[in-house]
Structure 1
Amino acid sequence: MSDKITGVGPEAQRERREQLRQLFTTPNEFTSSPLYRALSRTVAAEDGLLDLAGRGRHGQYPTFLFFGAVHQLLLSGVDHPLAGYFPSVVGPGRDAAPAEEAGPALVAFCEQYERELTEVISTRLVQTNQVQRALGLRFGLNTIAAQAAGPVHLIEVGTSAGLNLRFDRYGYTVGGRSFGDPASAVQLVAEHYGPGPLPDLDVLPDVASVLGVDLNPIDVRDPDARRWLEALVWPENHDQRALLAAAIDLTVADPPRILAGDAIDVLPGLARTLPAGEPRVVFHSATRMHVPDHRLAAFDAAIASLGETGPLWWLSVEEAPDPDPRPSPTRHGAALNLRTPDGERHILAVVEGHLRWVETFPAA
């Protein structure tokens, strides 16, 4: 396996390698994937694997991209012993080989398929479509319903395949209470914690239009693109994989409109196409984390530009709550943030990153 990062000098290569080593040494994101946690330790110990993981486009999260590429190749049907360690390949109801023993197979796999992995890592983007995050959108829209005068124009930044934009066609069960479409093939289930009441998630604003924006929109009608979405689901998450498949099947019949391009470039022009004075909602989840640091200010400014021609509600799930509104936090989660047209920021709830639980608290 090649041990150099193309186009990078020796000193920069060493620095980049150490940055990657740190990411793979403490892969906190893989909370529900024992396999990826075990394999991350193998990557951290192998310079060749670190350099392979570093061949992605700037701004892409290396751990997600590297394992997504490995997973996609295995899902395509390549015959290799590494497949036996992946529950997604072995299949539900069958035992995969022990995750702690998978390291040598990963090294051999990457040596054999270095060219194919490099092609995926260098060209693909991390475009996980966590359908469960539609719950965060619905939760935020419930609050907005009491504030917006008239139908809203909904825009999702980093929409991938636009599955969250079909939130109104899904069923939801939160803390044992049901909302949405009970007959939908897509049923999202989440736990409810905290002393705050759970709002009536069937109270939503009317929606005038929906639109997604993405650097590289995923066409759910393309089998190869669909496999990439499936590859970004962690191997052990069978339920999430089935949920993704159901959402794709539902969306194929009526995919939402998605604009291709960088949000920094697209959103200012888009603001001028929306009817002046009409409410608009922008939503993004686990998108800002992929924006390079030097472009974060421009990303935020582009979203704010949507409020230049009408009242803007800015809803996001990105980072831990700061400050945390819970007096004694016991669960690590992200803030469901809402910035209202007056510029005030409100934490509506603390949520698990994939929206598997929601913790509410009494309003201040």
Structure 2
Amino acid sequence: MTTKITESPRERVRRAFTEPGEFRTSPLYRALSRTVAGDDALLDLAAGGRPGQYPTFLFFGAVHHLLLTDADAREHPLAAYYPSLLPPGATARPAEEAGPALVDFCARHADALRAVIGTRLVQTNQVQRALGLRFGLAAIAAEIGDRPVHLIEVGTSAGLNLRFDRYGYRLGGRRYGDPDSPVQLVAELHGNGEVPDLDALPRLASVLGVDLHPVDVLDRDDRQWLRALVWPENQDQGLLLAAALDLVAGDPPPILAGDAIDVLPGLAASLPAGEPRVVYHSATRMHVPAERLDAFDAAIASLGDTGPLWWLSVEEAPDPDPREDTSRGGAALRLRGPDGASRDLAVVEGHLRWVETLPVPSPTG
């Protein structure tokens, strides 16, 4: 008889910190991940999140949150390694030397960190990802025609992406959207494929966000948590986030609190029969527990039970990757049409800092 070996929470978390490929733009988090992977006390602390929460994002978000919001914590030597905590023009200490400071900081503030890790969710609201939504809507505009669409975002956090039509964009040197908006999203353009007209968009019949625990753009603590989830080196993203929060606070989109698996089938029944709908999610499915992924996908697909559904996402890498040079990495901006066929519109950096167009749509079945 074969004995099944169950991986302990500590070892599961150790794997996540051993190969932290998500931190391409954060030398500090890459260096600190090695420290966490080799320290059992830190691993046990990081393992205290709710099921499905990605431990690296949650742990570093909790540490950053405490440094940003607690004056006593900010006096700790660890703060000197965080560019986000330093005055303009100051240089952070070398990331490779930060490990011992992290160990000491977590020992001193274990109870406060444990409280954040055990109650908060990874709800990044990278406003730059609104570009992925706008790109996808432009790509399906011709298919939808002049019919208005119902837009639903799953894992919407504070709903910043749902106000994509209030922002300005610059992709590959060309401008789109509102040139006077305080939120201007800039992305590099790569590849030889066609870029759809990002100003030729379907009309919106309604917008709605769905989130387990919606982030209130008017709540100071919620805003601080979103800021803590921005990596310390990415100060431009922090400024964009603040600008978007201020803009959206003037007209927050409606957000439905609940588990998408539970609420989406009912939402489908509430939409006008036969009217087009678009669902969007980005870096959301990765936080769904593995045993619930099939139910998550089925719930999204159920939005097509009462009308034609276009399903747009930024989650996994393209498989297979159709590009000749795959060294840049990236995730697929994937669109599944009402006929059930999927195609990759582009490959994008996870935070939509760049877009690489594809010469031929990549079928994914």
Answer yes or no: is 1:192 the counterpart of 2:189.
yes
Q: Determine the C-alpha separation between the residues in 2 that align with 1:363 and 1:111.
A: 53
- State the aligned residue count: 353
- TM-superposition CA deviations, 1:68-114 (whole Å, max 9, x none): 00000000032211111111011332111111111111111111111
Q: Match for 2:114: what amino acid? A: T
Q: Determine the C-alpha separation between the residues in 2 that align with 1:92 and 1:285.
A: 32
- How far residue 245 of structure 1 moved from its aligned partner, in angstroms, is 0.4
- Residue aligning to 2:111: 115
Q: Determine the C-alpha separation between the residues in 1 that align with 2:132 and 2:333.
A: 7
- How far residue 331 of structure 1 moved from its aligned partner, in angstroms, is 2.0
Q: Determine the C-alpha separation between the residues in 1 that align with 2:87 and 2:63.
A: 17
Secondary structure, aligned partner of 2:210: strand
- Residue aligning to 1:28: 21
Secondary structure, aligned partner of 1:35: helix
Q: Determine the C-alpha separation between the residues in 2 that align with 1:345 and 1:75.
A: 42
1:65 pairs, out of 58, 70, 86, with 58
TM-score (ref. length: structure 2): 0.95
Answer yes or no: is 1:133 the counterpart of 2:126.
no
- Residue aligning to 1:5: none
Q: Determine the C-alpha separation between the residues in 1 that align with 2:208 and 2:87.
A: 35
2:265 pairs, out of 256, 265, 268, with 268
- TM-superposition CA deviations, 1:150-200 (whole Å, max 9, x none): 000000000000000000000000000000000000000001111112221
The range that moved more, 96-105 or 44-53, is 96-105
- Residue aligning to 1:87: 83
- Residue aligning to 1:8: none
Q: Determine the C-alpha separation between the residues in 2 that align with 1:294 and 1:285.
A: 20
- Residue aligning to 1:153: 150
Q: Determine the C-alpha separation between the residues in 2 that align with 1:123 and 1:187.
A: 33
Secondary structure, aligned partner of 1:29: coil
- How far residue 335 of structure 1 moved from its aligned partner, in angstroms, is 0.5
Matches within 5 A, 1:165-184: 165-184=162-181
Q: Match for 1:208: what amino acid? A: A
Q: Determine the C-alpha separation between the residues in 1 that align with 2:155 and 2:281.
A: 6
Q: Match for 2:212: what amino acid? A: L
- How far residue 303 of structure 1 moved from its aligned partner, in angstroms, is 0.3
Q: Match for 1:99: what amino acid? A: A
Q: Determine the C-alpha separation between the residues in 2 that align with 1:284 and 1:91.
A: 35
Matches within 5 A, 1:1-364: 15-76=8-69, 77=71, 78=73, 79-149=75-145, 150-363=147-360
Secondary structure, aligned partner of 2:143: coil
TM-score (ref. length: structure 1): 0.95
Q: Determine the C-alpha separation between the residues in 2 that align with 1:60 and 1:175.
A: 35
Change (3 A) 1:117 1:345: same
- How far residue 118 of structure 1 moved from its aligned partner, in angstroms, is 0.4
Q: Match for 1:178: what amino acid? A: R
> Is the 8 Å Cα contact of residues 92 and 238 (structure 1) preserved in structure 2?
no
Specify every segment of 5 or more residues in structure 1 that has no aligned partner in the other structure, as ranges.
Answer: 1-10
Q: Determine the C-alpha separation between the residues in 2 that align with 1:157 and 1:227.
A: 22
- Residue aligning to 1:4: none
Q: Match for 2:296: what amino acid? A: F
Stretches (4+) displaced over 6 A: none
Change (3 A) 1:89 1:328: closer
Q: Determine the C-alpha separation between the residues in 2 that align with 1:91 and 1:178.
A: 32
Q: Match for 2:198: what amino acid? A: L
Q: Determine the C-alpha separation between the residues in 1 that align with 2:323 and 2:244.
A: 33
Q: Match for 1:110: what amino acid? A: C
> Is the 8 Å Cα contact of residues 215 and 261 (structure 1) preserved in structure 2?
yes
Change (3 A) 1:363 1:166: same
